[in-house]
Every structure is written in structure tokens, then in C-alpha cells.
Amino acid sequence: MTTISTAPHAELAIAIRLADYMKAHNLEGPIEIGVSKASCYWCQQYLDFLHESLQPKLNIVNRATHGKCIDGWLIPDHPADIKRQMLDFVGDKMQAIFDLTNAHRCKSDSVPFDGLSSDEEMQLEINDRPLTY
Ligand SMILES: [Zn+2]
């Protein structure tokens, strides 16, 4: 069994903390985050959402993304509206993968999933089989 540890990545914790502090003290940006590594795909998207929510007073500047999806990436709970945006974004990405997989699967000779129960699917597969004697 594989165990994956989850944690918010450091650049998100720093960005959120700084954004909260600057908003609380009515300070203006930019927020510059210095990290030795480029951000992962999920962090960059999260920072983009956070950046859009802070406009125009604060601006988040970070290094580019390496574009990889890292195992164990955890969405920070705060701020809630950015968490919701990120959940929707991840959900859309997953749906696109499912749709692509299903479209690929439909090219094979198997019966595509159409929302039927497993008993109905089994009956459909049985009915679709050619009769053999
Ligand atoms: Zn990351």
C-alpha cells in the first residue's frame, strides 16, 4: 500500500499570510515570494486565483511554474472563496480526464457508460451479444 502525505506548499502559506497581514494593515503590494524552486502546477493556479482576488492593491510576484502536478498537494482552507475556485478548477480538470478516457474507451468494443446501474449494464451487455448456438 502506498501512503501519500499531504500538506499545503510553502509558497501558498507565505502568500496567504502576507496577503492577510497586508490587508489587515491596509498596506499595498506587491507581495514578492522568493523560492528556490519553481511552483507546481496547482500552486501556480492557486496563486493566480489569489492574485486576481487581491487586485488592484496587492500583487503577488513569484517564480514561474514547472507545470508538474505534485502528489500530496493540499488546498489551503483559507481564504474560502479561493478554495472554492480551486476545487472547481480541479474538478473541471478531473472531468476533462474522465471525458477523454470515456471517449477513448468508446472507441473500443466495450459498451460506454451511460448512467445505468450495474444490473442494467449487465443486461444491456447480455442483450447486445450475438446469439450463438
Ligand atoms: Zn506547489
Residues 30-74 pLDDT 10s: 888 887 888 999 999 999 999 888 866 677 777 788 999 888 999
d(CA 70, CA 39): 10
Ligand 1 mean position, distance from CA 111 (Å): 39
Residue 55 burial (C-beta neighbours within 10 Å; 0-12, 13-18, 19+): exposed
**What is the per-residue burial (b if ≥16 Cβ within 10 Å, else e) of 80-101?**
eebeebbeebeeeeeeeeeeee
Residue 74 C-alpha cell reads as 493540499
Ligand 1 mean position, distance from CA 64 (Å): 11
d(CA 58, CA 19): 8
Ligand 1 mean position, distance from CA 43 (Å): 4
Q: pTM for the complete prediction?
A: 0.71
22: Cα separation from own chain's centroid: 27
Q: Residue 110 has what DSSP assignment?
A: S
Ligand 1 mean position, distance from CA 23 (Å): 24
Ligand 1 mean position, distance from CA 104 (Å): 30
d(CA 47, CA 32): 12
pLDDT confidence of residue 132? 39
pLDDT confidence of residue 110? 60
Ligand 1 mean position, distance from CA 1 (Å): 24
Ligand 1 mean position, distance from CA 91 (Å): 18
Per the CB < 8 A criterion, the answer to whether 86 and 45 are in contact is yes
